[in-house]
A and B are shown apart, each in its own frame.
Chain A
Amino acid sequence: MPHPDAVAPPTADAPTPPTVTPPTVTPSTVDGPEADLRPEARRELDAILLDGTLTYRQRVQRLAAFAENLRPMPPLRAATREALDARVICDMYEGNAPYRPRYLLPDYAAALANGSAYLELPPPRDLAEATWFLASMYANVPSITGYPVYLGDLDALLAPYADGLSEDAIVEALRPFWRALDRMLPDAFVHANLGPEDTPMLRAILRLERELRQVVPNLSLKVAPGVTPDDLLRDATETVFACAKPHFVNDPMMRADHGEGYAAVSCYNSLKIGGGAHTLVRINLKEVALRHEGDTEAFFTTTLPHDVEATAELMEARIRHLVERSGFFEHDWLVQEGLVQLDRFSAMFGVFGLAEAVNVLMERAGASGRYGHDADANALGHRIVRTIAGLVADRPQPYCDGFDGRAMMHAQSGIDLDVDVTAGTRIPIGEEPDLYRHLMAVAPHHAVFAAGVSDIVHFDDTARRNPDAVVDVIKGAMATGMRDVTFNLDSNDFVRITGYLVKKSDLAAIEAGARHGSTYLGAGNEAQAHCTQRATKRVVAAERQAGGRG
């Protein structure tokens, strides 16, 4: 924004600018040769090129998605294509010709230990070199968003370079790096992990988070009973009060599914370090239920298997294009240096709209119980999820050795285009029962969703005066088999949308443009799902941005 004095208004004393006489003859203009575009595509292109509220990078990213989608999708059976067009199944608008995996989790520890030939960097020797080394890597790590979705388990990665430094000294040394993460990677899907061990590095990072209150990085704390002390959970809870981060993840449960080398990235996606997810394809259970004809049993024996197979086919086609045609796994530097390995990849099978599906089936069966409130409705929800999990476990997927040749279940937390359909297996916004019954209704799902599940737990402001109560709930949730726990407090400046954060002040300012790409998604989601329960904002951004996150 220019300084207010930069363009001074004319004053009485100011000299009158010379009058410019317009040319009397306007030269005629001639259109240049134009690419062969359908009018609809031309409009889409102009919406990017002529929208000054988008930053340069946001435009470049959208242009790339536009260009990718000039190419047709990989071939699909007619029934699958029909389900996709009806958005019963959804490719997350990742783009028609995937040329990089959706989520990559580079093995940053190996890079720091060995240096990188591609980056022409030797192994770092101190904290400053280590942070610059990582920042250099981040600039070269792709993902569906164009930004790295995983920054590493930063406490563990950086602790060896801070040996002997006090917590205060670490805070001072790390502050420029932490600020730069938010400024260089302006996307709330950029995610760092911490824990489960308590270290001065971890404490310093939490302090920085409370001090800087940035959208980036999104943050998960791994929690292990007997390893993660209550005092650290309390510190993390105070951090949630300040900036709505971190998420809490159930470390023993994750290790059981993925082994020691896992991380939570983007929005609640738990994947293998040194690998990732080729793609995320999701099934809209609300639409599946609405299109279903017949009784509840037929839903399980006929409709679900049909639509799950359609989802799996779309997934397979996308994986094959990425691995067999794009050349990524032959040529990308992360692959060549062994920082990601194809055999640590799988794909994510997302489900959403469970609440509506359950309510539709209950109504058709003449029952009044609603998901989240009624034992029969909840049991039906659990049966749907377990049935899908069984079908997915029986359906081989190519190049998914990272999960025994199968896709991983994921409760997909929604994108901004979703209207009147609830994220993942959540209870609809505004319908949540009291917290205990809420957790009891959703906890049984968590075991199934190896690739992550999101249930956002709302606390009112009284919790701020009693952080130990929040710590109790975290420990209880883990003990009860919840995989991921995220809190939202009514009164801080952040609002958690589907799994990522936006600042309320940025939402309010969106018509003037926003620095974080994800703020646009947040604005769309805010308008569609009323997830802040506040007045909706006009949406200026194009919705079909490649790869609507999850």
Chain B
Amino acid sequence: MTLPRPLPADAAARAVRLAPDGADAGGVRGLVSGTIPFSAVDGPGNRFAVFLQGCNMDCPACHNPHTIRVCDDCGACVDGCPTAALEVVGGAVRWRPDACIGCDACIAACPDASSPKARSVTPDALVAEVRPVAPFLSGVTVSGGEATQQATFVRAFFAALAADPTTARLTRFVDGNGLTPPAVWDALEPVMDGAMIDLKAFDDDAHRALTGTPVAPVKASIDRLAARGLLHEVRLLIVPGRNDAPDALHRAATWLAGVAPDVHVRVTGFRRHGVRPGASGWREPTAREIRGYGDAVRAAGLANVTVV
């Protein structure tokens, strides 16, 4: 089992290292692994989704494992790049998008299976990317990685969205793993409109096995966000044999129904696509099993359940 371990390098620090010389040297920067201008699966309506690099969980079932760890500039990837799109400048590994062919040899060469391609942006620069898309959007969602690991940046980004007349009407959502401590929610809640939280297992031992972290902080986040009317959705990822025991599902759903009976619950069956070798041998649930999970969750009194 993978135990929780500290991030090898802090995402914000890496974002500052990547900042162009002299540009916003003292300002807030974010480390962004990618953006999607139109997303229909990251909250209500059509949304601009921002994926931030770095996560404090280490789930074998993660579909984007290259977003978990933050590049520590060790340089192991540089020589392996077939098109010389990576170089070390001033102690930082830098990526030249124009030379990149997207072969992901860098991720294969990384001891942490991380990507050196996450880019460093200021809040204002990211707002400028959202602005032309704004007419097509209900809102913006920050995801990851774990977005709240870069809470200072997220707060500044959301505040900048709210201050810009073109983007002010957009709702601002956080898609998170729930480990976020109360002090971070305190900082984010004034500038956010909703959150979507994963509950990857209800029992602590199962949660530790699936994520390397305890479940109590996740439940505390769900409880807190629901009480403040900010809990938009809870996702239940079900892995056969690991967190699909009927009584555990029932207890999870019963607890959720007590905390937030109207919350949108998305029940998703595990899929192997993109996962690391640790989970590539795990079994995918059948369509019938997934329907059964949905029925079990609804039986606890949750009305707004989507089964994917």
Contact = CB atoms under 8 A, between A and B. Distances in A.
Contacts of B132: 440
Which of B38, B39, B44 is packed against the most chain A CB atoms within 10 Å? B38
B38 A475 contact: no
B45 A471 contact: yes
A298 interface: no
Interface in B10-53: 36-41, 44-47
B98 to A, nearest CB: 13
B38 A435 contact: yes
Interface stretch (B57-65, B133-141, B175-183, B275-283): B133-141
Given A459-B40, A462-B40, A436 B133 contact: yes
A473 B306 contact: no
Contact of A469 (B37, B40, B306, B308): B40
Interface residues of B, number: 18
Contacts of B36: 434
A165 interface: no
Interface residues of A, number: 22
Nearest to B39: A469
B136 A476 contact: yes
Interface of A is mostly: helix
A10 B258 CA distance: 71
Interface in A500-529: none
B41 A468 contact: no
A468 B44 CA distance: 7
Interface of B is mostly: mixed
Nearest to B266: A465
Interface string A403-437: 00000000000000000000000000000001111
A368 interface: no
A476 B40 contact: no
Contact of B136 (A459, A462, A468, A473): A473
A480 interface: yes
Contacts of A434: 36-38
A466 B38 CA distance: 12
Nearest to B138: A472
Contacts of A479: 135
Contacts of A439: 136
A435 B137 CA distance: 13
Nearest to B136: A476
A462 B136 CA distance: 17
A471 B138 CA distance: 10
Contact of A472 (B41, B137, B306, B308): B137
Contacts of B138: 468-469, 472
A477 interface: yes
Nearest to B40: A469
A468 B38 contact: no
A340 B37 CA distance: 46
A184 interface: no
A439 B132 CA distance: 12
B37 A472 contact: no
B193 to A, nearest CB: 15
A290 interface: no
Given A436-B136, A475-B135, A462 B41 contact: yes
A459 B41 CA distance: 12
B278 to A, nearest CB: 27
Contacts of A476: 46, 133, 135-137
A41 interface: no
A476 B135 CA distance: 5
10 contacts: A434-B38, A436-B136, A459-B40, A466-B40, A466-B44, A468-B138, A472-B46, A473-B46, A479-B135, A480-B136
Interface of A: 434-437, 439-440, 459, 462-463, 465-466, 468-473, 475-477, 479-480
Given A434-B37, A470-B46, 4 more contacts: A440-B132, A468-B44, A469-B39, A477-B136
